[in-house]
Structure 1
Amino acid sequence: MRALAYFKKGDIHFTNDIPKPEIQTDDEVLIDVSWCGICGSDLHEYLDGPIFMPKDGECHALSNAGLPLAMGHEMSGIVAEVGPKVTKVKVGDHVVVDAASSCADLHCWPQSKHYSSKPCEACKKGSENLCTHGGFIGLGVISGGFAEQVAVSEHHIIPVPKEIPLDVAALVEPLSVTWHAVKISGFKKGSSALVLGAGPIGLCTILVLKGMGAGKIVVSEVAERRIEMAKNLGVEVFNPSKHGQKSIEVLRGLTKSHDGFDYSYDCSGIQVTFETSLKALTFKGTATNIAVWGPKPVPFQPMDVTLQEKILTGSIGYVVEDFEGVVQAIHNGDITLEDCKQLITGKQKIEDGWEKGFQELMDHKESNVKILLTPNNHGEMT
């Protein structure tokens, strides 16, 4: 089938030769892909990888799949076929895919070295996003959404009301990343929140905070185009480059109490945003790191947390309940279609996905949020 695939380190290109997926187990669902967003993780696989993808000549530890593999994990589509034990969806339903794979998927891959293993401790406790053997559909486990079709177990499927356009539905996955982060931070309706960075994840965090009823949202950003994007979502923007050493003091003063924010979310992952995420909090505030950092450690003063009983936590990935929460929030209007559509800055066919998708994002990072790719199964580009 047609796909934009990862062949080896530094080699991602369109092909007609990726094997078409088939239903292998009774609980699997075959999906005609409608749209799939290019994620920063996809770009990093090309620029810095392999990270999640198998190395050249090797297979993925969870599924035993080898290269080439279609990329793409932020997907929406239409059910084309269901296994005999599938009850959640039927042919023709609109769906999105929870791309995180875990011990729950091992029954699909008898060739996996972990096939007969018992569930890891994280999976036993319902934290599949922390699975010891985990990985992602479209990032090495199996082929993903930059292709005509994808086949996944039923527990990966989240039905989407047909009132939600399928291009917007492709945003459910990145929104679920930030929904998970805001949820585990213990966020309470009416609270104040600081978002550090207005890239794709920062903008998704804004939408989730608005959907959960934040009383005040401030976004810290220095890039003019991203400042504009955040303002278009109706939130206040703070540019620390205009305040120098007084940035923390000014930030804290933007809250109703003038004493700092109840919650902060670091979506940038650099030393200054990490420090700001803690110092801009009020007492007993919670700082959540969503950003993915490199291997180099950063200085940390524990007393920044201890003296005011602040909480520092991290968030990674999502679980299926996060997808369900996002879909419901979009359906009932807490997260608006208008806001979602502002995050879509381009649409391309998978045949053009490298030049007009990956290259465009790498060359014009600050002016893009999400570029969606489609195999055009149902005339999505017409």
Structure 2
Amino acid sequence: MKGLLYYKSGDLRYSEEVPEPIVVNDNDVKIKIAYCGICGTDLHEYLEGPIFFPKPGAMDKISGFKLPLCPGHEMSGVVTEVGSKVTNVKPGDHVVVEASSHCSDRARYKETVSQDIPFCSACKAGKPNICKDLNFLGLGTGSGGFGQFVVYGADHVLKLPDFMPLDVSALCEPISVAWHAVELAKFKPGQTALVLGGGPIGLAAILALKGHKAGRIVVSEPALIRRQFAQKLGAEVFNPLDHKDAISDLKNLLPETEGFDASFDCSGVPVTFQTSIEALGPGGIAVNVAIWADKPIQYIPMDLTYQEKFATGSMGYVVKDFAEVIHAFEEGLIPVESARVLITGKVTPKETVQKGFKELIDHKEANVKILVTPNGEI
């Protein structure tokens, strides 16, 4: 099949001889990919990897697969074949893929990885998104959506409602990342939220908060283009560079509660981490959604203690998040055309490096989500 293969950092190659995955297990689903978003994680793999991908010569801990493999984990497509025990989808269904892989997924790869490895504590506790060996289809477990077809377990595949266009459906993955963070904040309808950073996940957080019926959403973002995107999605915007004391001025937006009910750091720099805590009202919850470099930062524990605030991190998603995002689309809480605002380009696998990766690297403020179309527009 046609696809884009990852070999190592800086080495992505278009090929028309990528091995096409086949249905092996009775719960397998084969999907013809319609659209697959280029994620910030894909960019990090290209610039600094391998991170999730196994190092050259090494094997993925879940599947036992080695490089090269096709990237791409933000997928929508059409089912073409199913295993004998699959009941939740059928050929012809439009679907999205929850791409995480964890201890329970090893059972799919009996020929390539040991079946004697016990489940980790997180998976035993029903928290597969923080599995000790967490990975993703399209990041090492197997070839992903930058190729024409994928095969994955039916428990990771969700049917789409008929009205959902396949290009917008590829956004279910980044919105699910944000949705999981909002769930961790124990967010209630009518509450207030501060989103720090207006990049792809920050903008997805606006949609996730709309899906949770947020009362007020403020996005703090220095880049004008990103603030404009946030406004299009219905958020209030705040430029921290226009304020001498940005934290106080953010809190003053909500004098009745002396700060926000929840904050979501989607930037991952020391000033946004500090703001995420200090801009909260008493008892507020700060959720780190950003992926940080492995370096320490300054932190004052009493910033939490004095007003019994909470700070936590959010990692990925679970199938339940995808199902709830799809339901939010069905209920009209996330309008299809609002989500479509995030799509800023579409490219074929052959042009993905130049018009996809390099466009996002060199002009990141002007782009949100560029979609790869391995089979042409469907």
TM-score of the aligned structures, taking structure 2 as reference length? 0.98
Secondary structure of the equivalent of 1:70?
A: coil
Measured after TM superposition, the shift of residue 113 of structure 1 is 4.3
Tell me the distance in 1 between the aligned counterparts of 2:242 and 2:115. Answer: 56
Partner of 1:95: 95
Per-residue deviation, 1:125: 1.5
* Counterpart for residue 344 of structure 1: 343
2:48 corresponds to which residue? 48
Cα distance per residue 1:47-83 (max 9 Å; x no partner): 1111011111222122111111000000000000000
Structure-1 separation of matches of 2:162 and 2:75: 15
In 2, distance between residues paired with 1:206 and 1:256?
Answer: 22
CA contact (8 A) 1:62 1:112 kept: no
Matching residue's letter, 2:192: S
Q: Deviations over 1:90-114 (max 9, x none)?
A: 1000100010001111111124544
Indicate the percent of aligned positions where both proteins have the same amino acid.
Answer: 51
* Distance in 2 of aligned mates of 1:84 and 1:375: 27
Aligned counterpart, 2:265: 266
Match of 1:288 in 2: 287
Task: Specify the SS of the correspondent of 2:346.
Answer: strand
Q: Tell me, which stretches of 5 or more residues in structure 2 are unaligned?
A: none
Amino acid at match of 1:145: G
| Deviation at residue 13 of structure 1 after TM alignment | 2.0
* 1-structure distance, mates of 2:120, 2:7: 31
1:63 partner SS = coil
| Counterpart amino acid of residue 195 in structure 2 | V
C-alpha distance 298-112 of structure 1, shift in aligned 2 (>3 A): farther
Once residues 313 and 114 of structure 1 are traced to their aligned partners in structure 2, the CA distance between those partners, rounded to angstroms, is 34
1:299 alignment partner in structure 2:
298
Give matches, 1:160-171, under 5 Å.
Answer: 160-171=160-171
Contact 2:8 2:46 in 1 (8 A): no
The equivalent of 2:60 in structure 1 is 60
Contact 1:9 1:50 in 2 (8 A): yes
Instruction: Give how far 1:117 is off.
Output: 2.0
Say yes or no: does 1:237 pair with 2:246: no
Q: Which residue of 1 aligns with 2:360?
A: 361
CA drift of 1:116 comes to 1.9
- Supply the distance in 2 between the matched residues of 1:210 and 1:256 (Cα, whole angstroms): 22
AA at the equivalent of 2:171: L
For residue 264 of structure 1, give the secondary structure of its aligned residue in structure 2: strand
Inter-CA distance 92–256: structure 2 relative to 1 (3 Å threshold): farther
Contact persistence 1:63–1:111 (CA under 8 A): no
1:183 equivalent in alignment to 2:183 = yes
Match of 1:33 in 2: 33
Match of 1:140 in 2: 140
Structure 2 letter corresponding to 1:277: S
Q: Does 1:155 align with 2:171?
A: no
Residues 103-136 of structure 1: per-residue CA shift (max 9 Å, x gap): 1111111245442223222112210101112211
Taking the TM superposition and a 5 Å limit, the aligned residue runs for 1:194-205 are 194-205=194-205
Letter in 1 for 2:286: A
Unaligned runs of 5+ in 1: none
Distance 2:310 2:91 in 1: 46
Contact 1:62 1:106 in 2 (8 A): yes
Deviation at 1:18, TM superposition (A): 1.2
Deviations 1:304-341 (A, max 9, x none): 00000000011000000000000111122110111100
For 1:225, the equivalent position in structure 2 comes to: 225
How far off its partner does 1:179 sit?
A: 0.4
Q: Displacement of 1:8 after TM fit?
A: 2.1
Contact 1:23 1:29 in 2 (8 A): yes
In 1, the alpha carbon distance for the partners of 2:195 and 2:257 equals: 17
CA drift at 1:218: 0.5
SS at match of 2:52: coil
CA–CA distance in structure 1, aligned partners of residues 76 and 11 of structure 2: 25
TM alignment of 1:115-130, pairs within 5 A: 115-130=115-130
1:251 corresponds to which residue? Answer: 250
Contact 1:288–1:313 (8 Å) recurs in 2: yes
Partner Cα separation in structure 2 for residue 78 and residue 316 of structure 1: 28
Q: Structure 1: how far apart are the matches of 2:367 and 2:130? A: 30
Distance 2:182 2:309 in 1: 16
How many Å apart are 1:44 and its aligned residue?
A: 0.2
**Aligned partners of 2:370 and 2:113: how far apart in 1?**
36
Question: What letter is aligned with 1:359?
Answer: K
Q: Are 1:211 and 2:211 an aligned pair?
A: yes
Contact 1:197/1:267, CA 8 A, preserved across alignment = yes
Question: Aligned partners of 1:350, 1:294: CA distance in 2, in Å?
Answer: 29
RMSD, aligned α-carbons: 1.1
Match of 2:192 in 1: 192
- Secondary structure in 1 matching 2:217: strand
Confirm or deny: 8 A CA contact 2:8 2:49 kept in the other structure.
Answer: no
Counterpart residue type for residue 241 of structure 1: L
Which amino acid letter does the alignment assign opposite residue 303 of structure 2? D
Tell me what 1:322 maps to.
321
How many residues align? The count is 378
Instruction: Return the offset for 1:258.
Output: 5.6
Q: Distance in 1 between matches of 2:18 and 2:375?
A: 17
Counterpart residue identity of residue 287, structure 2: T
